[in-house]
Homo-oligomer: A and B are copies of this chain.
Amino acid sequence: MSIITALDTFDIRFPTSLELDGSDAMNPDPDYSAAYLILRTDAGDGHEGHGFVFTIGRGNEVEQAAIDALKDHVLGRDVEKLLGDMGATWKLLTHDSQLRWLGPEKGVMHMAIGAVINALWDLKAKRAGLPLWELLAGMSPEDLVALVDFRYLTDALTPAEALGILRAAEPGREARRSRLLAEGYPAYTTTPGWLGYSDGKLSRLAKEAVADGFTQIKLKVGASLEDDVRRVRVAREAVGPEIRIAVDANQRWDVQEAIDWMAHLAAYDIAWIEEPTSPDDILGHAAIARGVAPIPVATGEHVQNRVVFKQMLQAGALSVLQIDAARVAGVNENIAILLLAAKFGVRVCPHAGGVGLCEAVQHLSMFDYVAVSGTKEERMIEFVDHLHEHFVDPVDVHAGSYWPPAKPGAGNEMLRETLAEYSFPDGPVWKDKH
């Protein structure tokens, strides 16, 4: 028997606000950050579990404190037992009766649980010698269903229905695994579309994106209608009629405002409108979806948990569901959300970018393709070309696709040098900024 001997946390921040990369209508000056943790064991196999919550700067220390608050649930515990029943482990962390008050199941505390859960999955995948997507795609339908907490879901998805979805996908797993390795998984890029960029830079980057093989780009909108109309036109002229252009308002609008604003952009053949309003506003998203049809509504990067996703699906509030690797309580909850999306027949196009979100979320889409929805039709993973150099196993995105990671683990692990250099507030990068 081996036990968890350490849960060490780190406050890692990148001074990205000095560039205008990453700026949008609600987040003008993000410093991309990670509340990061490493789990260690006494197994003597050299394996560690890494996980993180992505934040955009201030408050990263609060998220770190929340991860620290979970230490008692894992330190000294039997590793095989924790990893052997990840469904029970998820409930152990999520249903702590005192910590639950701080959510429940939302915000700082819920994301911290996600980071610990993801670190445990990272450890489990490394011990299995498999990348996470392969580990998950090799599990039996019964074992996958056991990972999901169906509390608050059964009016939309029962365990039996989930089992049915997974069993239906089982016969095609091997063929899809081969196709995935041969074809990759489609990507789209947000690199051209940040608000801070000039029209010239937008046009140049949009053309580069097409040359790089991307078939969809995304533009940030919502700060100025006049600018948005011009920028979408510039982008459309740059990429031609065949490339999809999505727009992202980052929660900027009220319901009617979203409908009115989008009426001015509709002429440019918009692939989707993302986060038109508050991520909490299920009924608002549903009203917007009716008001902007046939433009699809996309949301999810700030949707707090599976209960809100359930309602978004029940209400017809979205037609593009954007999971995020570090917003909900980790891999288990994202599997619940993938199953809900499959039940409702809604496509999943993950949010990524930030720090490490691309590295982490690709595993979930690839698992979904092989073992859940069984399709990558009209699905793609966001790609932003930022900060990948800090990861032990950075994404391989080329020819407009993500290529399946082969290294064991969940993709969460940063380089040791990065953890030292970008440590806040005392790492060398930050020391001279104060």
**B305 close to A280 (CB less than 8 A):** yes
Cβ of B102 and Cβ of A29 under 8 Å apart?
Answer: no
CB distance from A48 to the nearest CB of B (A): 24
Q: How far is the CA of A109 from the CA of B55 in the complex (A)?
A: 13
- What distance in Å separates the Cβ of A346 from its nearest Cβ neighbour in chain B? 16
Q: How many angstroms between the C-alpha atoms of A96 and B29 in the bound complex?
A: 10
In chain A, positions 26-52 with a C-beta closer than 8 Å to chain B are: 26-31
Task: Give which listed residue, B61, B69, B257, B283, contacts A282 with CB less than 8 A.
Answer: B283
One digit per residue, 1 when the CB lies within 8 angstroms of any chain B CB and 0 when it does not, for chain A 279-317 equals: 111111001000000000000001011011011001100
Minimum C-beta distance from A61 to chain B (A): 7
Is the beta-carbon distance between B26 and A100 smaller than 8 angstroms?
A: yes
Q: How many copies does the complex hold?
A: 2
Which residues of chain A from 54 to 87 have any CB-CB distance to chain B below 8 Å in the complex? 55-59, 61-63, 65-66, 69
> Which B residues lie within 8 Å of A97 (CB)?
26-30, 56
Mostly helix, strand, loop or mixed at chain A's interface? loop
How far is A257 from B27 in the complex, measured between Cα atoms in Å? 41
In the bound complex, CA of A302 to CA of B104 (Å)? 8
A303 → B minimal CB distance (Å): 10
From A150-158, A170-178, A371-379, the one touching the partner chain is A150-158
A103 interfacial by beta-carbon distance below 8 Å: yes
Q: Which of A125-181 contact B (CB under 8 A)?
A: 151-155
Q: How many Å lie between the Cα of A254 and that of B63 in the bound state?
A: 30
Determine if B57 and A104 form an interchain contact, defined as CB atoms under 8 angstroms apart: no
Q: Supply 26 A–B pairs (Cβ within 8 Å), ascending by A.
A: A26-B97, A27-B97, A27-B100, A30-B98, A55-B98, A55-B102, A56-B97, A56-B98, A61-B65, A62-B66, A62-B108, A62-B109, A65-B65, A66-B108, A102-B107, A102-B108, A104-B279, A105-B280, A107-B107, A107-B109, A152-B277, A152-B281, A155-B254, A280-B305, A280-B307, A281-B310
